[in-house]
Amino acid sequence: MLDKVTRLLLVEDDEDDYILTCDYLDQLGSHTFDVEWLSCPEEAISELSENKHDICLLDYRLGASDGLEVLKRAVANGFRGPIIMLTGQSDEALDSAALDAGAVDYLVKSEMNSSRFA
């Protein structure tokens, strides 16, 4: 029996965070992820509009851009998969804003590990 491959879009402008996230996902031996990495908010909105991914991990800080705006536009454009907001620091107001805008969860990068994705 073949394992299902989850198509994941990681929207992250920091290559080190991309590598760490992929390492965490690779440690989940029970599941396989096909990770596509984008750092450009406009490209991410376009990709999400095509609904080719099962899930999206979306960084809050994308250079000068705001991940909340990407989230809102992706939801408005009809992305049907879950979006999880990632951030470098814990912030209850941002957590609430992300959930209100359509995110299903909010993860602080310093608290991420493979068990958070299990």
Q: Does 4 map to a domain?
A: no
pLDDT of residue 1: 46
Q: What is the C-alpha radius of gyration for the chain, rounded to an integer number of angstroms?
A: 13
Closest-CA residue to 118 (of 37, 33, 53, 60)? 33
Closest-CA residue to 94 (of 47, 58, 44)? 58
Q: Does 65 map to a domain?
A: yes
pLDDT of residue 33: 92
- With tokens 């992929």, the residue in question is 22
Q: How many helices (H) and strands (E) are present in the chain, helices listed first? A: 4, 7
- Residue-wise pLDDT for 30-42, tens only, equals 788 999 999 999 9
Q: Does 32 map to a domain?
A: no
- Residue-wise pLDDT for 53-107, tens only, equals 999 999 999 877 889 999 999 999 999 999 999 988 888 888 899 999 999 999 9
Tokens of 87: 């951030």
- Per the structure, the complete domain to which residue 50 belongs is given by 40-72+96-113
Cβ neighbours around 92 below 10 Å, total? 8
Q: Does 8 map to a domain?
A: no
Instruction: Please give the model's pTM, rounded to 2 decimal places.
Output: 0.90
What's the number of domains the chain is made of?
1
Long-range Cβ pairs for the range 25-29 (8 Å, 24+) = 25/114, 25/117, 27/114, 28/114, 28/117, 28/118
